[in-house]
Structure 1
Amino acid sequence: MDIESAQHWWQPVPGWLNTASYGLPPRQALDELGAMMDDWRTGRTSWEGWDASTHRARAAFARLVGVDAADVAVGAVVSQLFAPVAAAVPDGARVVCVDGDFASTIYPWAVHADRGVSLRAVPLAGLAEAAQDADVVAFSLVQSADGRVADYANVCRAARAGGAMIVVDATQACGWLPFDAGLADVVVVGAYKWLMSPRGTAFAYLSPQVRDRFRPLAAGWYAGEDVHASYYGPPMRLATTARRFDISPAWQAWVGTAPALEVVEQLGVAAIHEHNVALANRFLAGLGLPPGDSAIVTVDVPGAEQRLAAAGVRAAVRAGRVRASFHVYNTPADVDLALAALTG
C-alpha cells in the first residue's frame, strides 16, 4: 500500500510537525491496545497473550534493520540498554562521541570517568577521522537537535580499521532512514518516535562478536532461557541469545508497539524516507533554503516559535532553533500551514 492511501490510519490535528519528539500511533496500534486495556479492566485473560506482542515487535524490528532476532534485546529506554555496554569497557577506555549529541548517547559513558574512561567530543564531520584513534565510537545516526545524518558507512569503516567498537543510537533514524544495523556492534532504538509506538519500548541489536563482553546487569526472570521456568531461583539459567539482556516488558506498551512496527514494514522504510524528505525539502524551499537529506530540519526565523504556535503548528525548539520533523501522516497541507505562518 502506498503512503497516501494509508494516511487514513492516522487522524492528526493538522500541523503536527514534531515526530522527533514523539510519533503518532496508527489505528492498528490503537485497536490492539484498546482491546488489551479492556481485557485488563475485566481480568478475562492471562498475560501470556499480551507478551506475544513483545516477540512480534522484536521480530519486526530485526527485519527492519536487517539482523537476526536472536541478536535483539528488548528494554524500556535507550540509556538503560546502553548501560551494560558502557559498563563493560575497560578502565581507561577512550570513547569518541559527537559534540552536542543527545545526552542518552553520552551520559552512559561519562558516568565511568572515575575509572578513567575518557570522552572526547568532536564535530559530526570529524567523527570518522576521530574514530580511528578510539576504543569506542558512540554516536546518533541522526542528530536530535538538527537532523544531521551521520556518514554511517564511512564512520563504521574508519572505526573497524582502528579496532574501535561501534555503538549507535538510531532512535531518530529507525522508521524513516534505511540502514543496516549489522555494520555496527551495538544499535539501540527508542520506539516512541519514528516507530510510532507507546513510550517505554526500546530495542538493542547486540552483535555476537561483542555480546559476550557485556554483563546483563538487569537480569531477571525475563532474561531466562525458559522464562516460565525462571520465576524463582537459584539456579540462574540465562538465555544464550541477546534475550539475556531483556528486561521484563511493560505489556501495554508492547501491545501497541508490535502493530506499529508492522505498519512501518508494510509501508516500507524506503517509501517513508522518500515521503518524509520530500516534505522536509518542500518546507526548506518555501523558506528559500537548499534541500537536505533528513526528515528533521531546523530553521532560524525571527519569532518562529510564536508564529507557528499561533497558527496551530506544533514543532519544537532545540539548540535555539525551530525544529520541524515530517512523517507518514504529514501532508503538503501541513507544510504549507507552517510556511504561511513563517512567511505571511
Structure 2
Amino acid sequence: MRTAFGEQFDVPAGYLNTASIGVPPVFAAEAMTDVIGRWRRGQDNAPDFDPMVATARESWAALVGVNPERVAMGATVAEMIALIAAGVPDGTRVVTVRGEFTSATFPFAAQAYRGVTVTEVDADDLTDRAPEFDLVTVSAVQSADGAIADLDGLRAAGTPVLLDVTQALGWLAVDVSWAEWVVGGSYKWLMSPRGVAWLAISPDAPDWIRPHNANWFAGQDPWTSIYGLPLRLADNARAFDTSPVWFSVTGAAATLPWLVKLDRRAVQEHNVGLANDLLARLGLPPRDTAIVSLNAPGAGEHLKAAGIRCAVRAGRIRLAFHLYNTAEDVDAVTAALATHRVE
C-alpha cells in the first residue's frame, strides 16, 4: 500500500503503466466494490446513478476549466470525436502530427468518401502549417512518447483545434479551455474505470457537431424522453450524451472530485521529477514529461523480471510516472536496465 497526496493506493512497486491503465485510490475502488455489491443484491435503480453523472461531469469540466453545460459524456474518445468528424463540411482539410493516436484521426479519415482529407506533418511543423488547414486534431501529450504539443502556438495559429487530453489531464498543469473542442478518456491519468469519456464544446466552435448518437439520455429531461417522438434533446452539450456506463461513472464520480482539489502543479512536478531523474540516471537529457520512451532492445524481459509494469509503444519501452510512483520505482528501472544500451 502506498500513500500519495493524502490518499492510499493499493499499487505495487514498479507499476509504471498509467499511460495504459491508471490505478484508482483505495476509496474509489471501494466505491466500485459497493456498487457491484448493490447490483448483485438488486438494490439499485437506474435514476440512482444520475447524481454520479452530474458529479463526474462537473469535476471533469473543472479540470478542463469550462462550464459543465459545455461538456458531453460518452464511453470512448473516438465515439465523441466521430460526432465532429461526421459533421465537418465536405472537403474539410484536417491536419495532425505524424504518428498521432488513431482515435484522434481515424474518425476523420473515415470521411474520405466525401472529400475530407487528413494530412500528417512533423510535430515541429504543426503550428506553422496549421493555417493551411480547416481543423487541427492532436493530442496535448502524445501517447507513444509523451511529447507535449505546442499549445500556445496552436492557440495563436487561429485554426480550430480538437485537443485530445487523455494523456495530459490529471498530471499536466496547463490551460486547455481555449480549444474549440477538448476530448478525453478517464481511465488513465484520471484513474477512473474505462467506459467514461468527455467532450467540451466551446461556444466559439464551428457548428460541425451533430447528435448522431441521439438517445433518451440526451433529452432535455431524460426520464420523460424514454418513449415517443418528437425529438427533444437538451439545449446544451448534454444533447450529445450517450447513456451512462453506470459502474464506470461511479468510479469517475469518486476520483474526479478529489483530483480537482489537488495542486496540479505539485502533481506535475512530482511526476516529471521522477521521469527526469530516471533519464538522468540513464545518461539521457530531461524531457519534462511524465512519460518516458526508451529504445532499449531486449530490455523488456529484464524489466518484467524486476516487477516493472510498462508498455511497448511504437517499438519503444514506455514508462509512465504518476502521483503514486516513488524514487523506489526509478531505482528498480535503473537496476533492470544497468546492462542495456538505452537511448
TM-score bracket for this pair, using the shorter chain length: over 0.9
* Partner of residue 278 from structure 1, selected from 270, 273, 283: 273
Q: Which amino acid aligns with 2:58?
A: A
Q: Which deviates the most, 48-57 or 289-298?
A: 48-57
Give, in angstroms, the shift of residue 44 of structure 1.
2.1
Q: Which residue of 2 aligns with 1:209?
A: 204
Q: Which amino acid aligns with 2:331?
A: D
- Kept in 2, the 8 Å contact 1:36–1:50? The answer is no
1:152 aligns with 2:151: yes
- Kept in 2, the 8 Å contact 1:181–1:205? The answer is no
Cα distance in 1 for partners of 2:206, 2:223 equals 24
In structure 1, the gaps of 5 or more residues are none
Q: Which amino acid aligns with 1:113?
A: A
Aligned ranges for residues 63-78 of structure 1 at < 5 Å? 63-78=62-77
Q: How many residues align?
A: 337
Q: Which residue of 2 aligns with 1:132?
A: 131
Cα distance in 2 for partners of 1:270, 1:48 equals 37
* Partner of residue 252 from structure 2, selected from 239, 251, 257: 257
1:187 aligns with 2:156: no
Q: Which residue of 1 aligns with 2:116?
A: 117
* Structure with greater helix share of residues: 1
- Kept in 1, the 8 Å contact 2:14–2:309? The answer is yes
Cα distance in 1 for partners of 2:207, 2:224 equals 23
Aligned ranges for residues 90-101 of structure 1 at < 5 Å? 90-101=89-100
Q: Which amino acid aligns with 2:174?
A: F
1:337 aligns with 2:332: yes
Q: Which amino acid aligns with 2:167?
A: Q
Task: String of CA shifts for 1:176-199, please: whole Å, max 9, x gaps.
Answer: 012223211001001000000100
1:31 aligns with 2:69: no
TM-score, normalization: structure 2?
0.95
Q: Which amino acid aligns with 1:256?
A: G
Q: Which residue of 2 aligns with 1:48?
A: 47
Q: Which deviates the most, 237-246 or 44-53?
A: 44-53
Task: String of CA shifts for 1:4-46, please: whole Å, max 9, x gaps.
Answer: 4525x10111111010001001112112111111111111232
Q: Which residue of 1 aligns with 2:323?
A: 328
What SS is found at the alignment partner of 1:247? coil
Cα distance in 1 for partners of 2:205, 2:219 equals 20
Q: Which amino acid aligns with 1:111?
A: A
TM-score, normalization: structure 1?
0.95
- Kept in 2, the 8 Å contact 1:191–1:257? The answer is yes
Cα distance in 1 for partners of 2:232, 2:297 equals 60
Give, in angstroms, the shift of residue 213 of structure 1.
3.1
Cα distance in 1 for partners of 2:228, 2:202 equals 29
Give, in angstroms, the shift of residue 258 of structure 1.
1.2
| Percent of aligned pairs with the same amino acid | 46
Cα distance in 2 for partners of 1:169, 1:45 equals 34
Aligned ranges for residues 142-181 of structure 1 at < 5 Å? 142-158=141-157, 160=158, 164-181=159-176
Aligned ranges for residues 243-322 of structure 1 at < 5 Å? 243-322=238-317
Q: Which amino acid aligns with 1:74?
A: M
Q: Which amino acid aligns with 2:286?
A: P
- Kept in 1, the 8 Å contact 2:185–2:196? The answer is yes
Q: Which amino acid aligns with 1:56?
A: T
Cα distance in 1 for partners of 2:130, 2:73 equals 28
Q: Which residue of 2 aligns with 1:6?
A: 6
Cα distance in 2 for partners of 1:187, 1:63 equals 13
Give, in angstroms, the shift of residue 299 of structure 1.
1.2
- Kept in 1, the 8 Å contact 2:5–2:323? The answer is no
What SS is found at the alignment partner of 1:228? helix
What SS is found at the alignment partner of 1:343? coil
Q: Which deviates the most, 294-303 or 204-213?
A: 204-213
What SS is found at the alignment partner of 1:145? coil
Task: String of CA shifts for 1:101-158, please: whole Å, max 9, x gaps.
Answer: 1010110110011111111100111110111110001101101000000011111211
Give, in angstroms, the shift of residue 251 of structure 1.
0.4
Runs of 4+ in 1 over 3 A off after TM superposition: none
Cα distance in 1 for partners of 2:150, 2:228 equals 47
